[in-house]
Structure 1
């Protein structure tokens, strides 16, 4: 189990998560289906804080994806959950 690690900021983590999803079509396609976006509109949406929260929400809603992503970065999955809550405006005490 990865040990808890501080992450510089929630937006950076969400952008890394987006890259993680985009790196494999079988990860990206369910996300696009959920959001209603297409590959051509993905880049423009990436600048929106609500979109970045949705990226992390998608990861957090799928435990295997969450664990794989967190494991790739050697992060405790709770860091990802707190970053999602931070971007969504939910108070969690997340301190980047």
Structure 2
């Protein structure tokens, strides 16, 4: 997957996340980001990588996100691998 495609998936995932007030609140709390920070960083590939990292922390979130966007479950991990830091080894 090319980085441009990965960024599009991550932006769509951020939009999905922001549409869920409860989960978005968890994201803000976990990252320490404010809504203004999210708006300012929404185009930053490193921030977008963090969005995907957050969603991929919970299988239920991955399923909900991918079902809502009509994409395969492995797409988030593929997109994450194409963003900065995605080439790190997976030890699990």
1:82 corresponding residue in structure 2:
78
Point out where structure 1 has 5 or more consecutive residues left out of the alignment: 1-7, 92-96
- 1:58 and 2:28 matched: no
- 1:70 and 2:66 matched: yes
> Given the alignment, which residue of 9, 14, 22 partners 1:13?
9
Distance 1:40 1:72 in 2: 25
TM-score (norm 2): 0.83
How many correspondences in the alignment? 85
TM-score (norm 1): 0.80
> Given the alignment, which residue of 18, 23, 30 partners 2:26?
30
Q: What's the Cα RMSD here?
A: 1.7
